[in-house]
Structure 1
Amino acid sequence: MAGAGLLFLTDEQLMKGSEAMFFAYRGFTADPDRILAESGYGRAHHRAVHFIGRSPGTTVNNLLAILGVTKQSLNRVLRSLIEDGLVESRVGTRDKRERHLFLTEEGNKLDRSLTDAQRARMRAAYSAAGPEAVQGFRKVLEAMMDPDMRRRFNRMKDNDK
């Protein structure tokens, strides 16, 4: 069975994998962090912009579920993004209590610059690793997701088709 040997990884090998993921994440977020710092934003702003951009019209409640943050924390982030003209909040047409979120033109520009930076880093890494490694990496990432997050991820993936 292909990959059966992977079931017998040592604790040391698993620790090295965890450390590699930590340092890779630092690299993955470094370029966007620099871009965000110019405007006084942080990673919470990046995540909000990213998921609003991926799902225009998403509700505040959906964003809360995806990000796993408190309502108070998200409200601080959204307030600054709305005040700075990057996000627009619209009242729901069916349920007036819902708030639907959209990136403005400026918000889309910021999202593109952040995404372009990360896409360039991923493209270089994927190119260096090769197609089989890319497929394996994707499988590992999906296997690490909690079931609810995997369902959300798959719904977003399905919406891309």
Structure 2
Amino acid sequence: MADGRTASGENLLYLTDEQLRQGIEAMFFAYRGFTADPDRILSDMAYGRAHHRAIHFINRAPGTTVNNLLNILGVTKQSLNRVLRTLIEDGLVESHVGTVDKRERHLFLTEAGQALEGQLSDAQRARMRAAFRDAGPDAVAGFRTVLEAMMDSEMQHAYTRLKESGA
């Protein structure tokens, strides 16, 4: 079809509850697979997924503020502070006082933090690369479209800003 949808794709506009349940379950198990490798790496360090997310987004936008990270992660300040305190104490993250606003704390990964982030990302990139290769470019584009459509509007804006930042 001219708009990129296949005849079978047209049928997906009218999903049954059973098809939606299967999609939900596939997403659940895919997420478990996607996080399994980093979880194994982090478990040896007594870290969890909150640590991984913080490390990922600090790496993605070096110098990001604690407030920006709070907005991206959607966690409480208390929860993020526990994670950051551990990462800072363990020498993976550095916190610098803002030059313009002394109340701001800017976050950077140390060399050790960058090495850990690389290890975590390499594992996830390998899994995604294999899945994307197997699925093909049309499926990858469709997958991204579905993920973006599932985001709340606030998250879509944060995601768009992150993509546009080129970080």
TM-score, with length taken from structure 1: 0.97
Partner of 2:91: 85
**Could you report, residue by residue, the CA deviation over 1:88-134 in whole angstroms, capped at 9, with x for unpaired residues?**
00001110000000000000000000000000000000011111000
Partner of 1:158: 164
Query: Is 2:46 the partner of 1:75?
Result: no
Query: Is 2:52 the partner of 1:46?
Result: yes
Query: How far apart in 1 are the matches of 2:32 and 2:58?
Result: 23
Partner of 1:116: 122
What is the root-mean-square deviation in Å for CA atoms of aligned residues? 1.1
Query: Is 2:112 the partner of 1:106?
Result: yes
Letter in 1 for 2:131: A
TM-score, with length taken from structure 2: 0.93
Query: How far apart in 2 are the matches of 1:7 and 1:127?
Result: 25
Offset at residue 5 of structure 1 (A): 2.7
Partner of 1:27: 33
Where in structure 2 are there 5+ consecutive unaligned residues?
none
Equivalent residues, number: 161
Where in structure 1 are there 5+ consecutive unaligned residues?
none
Partner of 1:8: 14
Partner of 2:64: 58
**Match for residue 97 of structure 1 among 92, 103, 111:** 103
SS of equivalent to 2:95: strand
Structure 1 stretches of 4+ moved >4 Å = none
Letter in 2 for 1:132: D
Query: How far apart in 1 are the matches of 2:166 and 2:78?
Result: 31
Query: How far apart in 2 are the matches of 1:31 and 1:159?
Result: 28
Offset at residue 159 of structure 1 (A): 1.8
Query: How far apart in 1 are the matches of 2:124 and 2:141?
Result: 18
Identity of aligned pairs, percent? 73
Partner of 1:131: 137
Query: How far apart in 1 are the matches of 2:13 and 2:100?
Result: 50
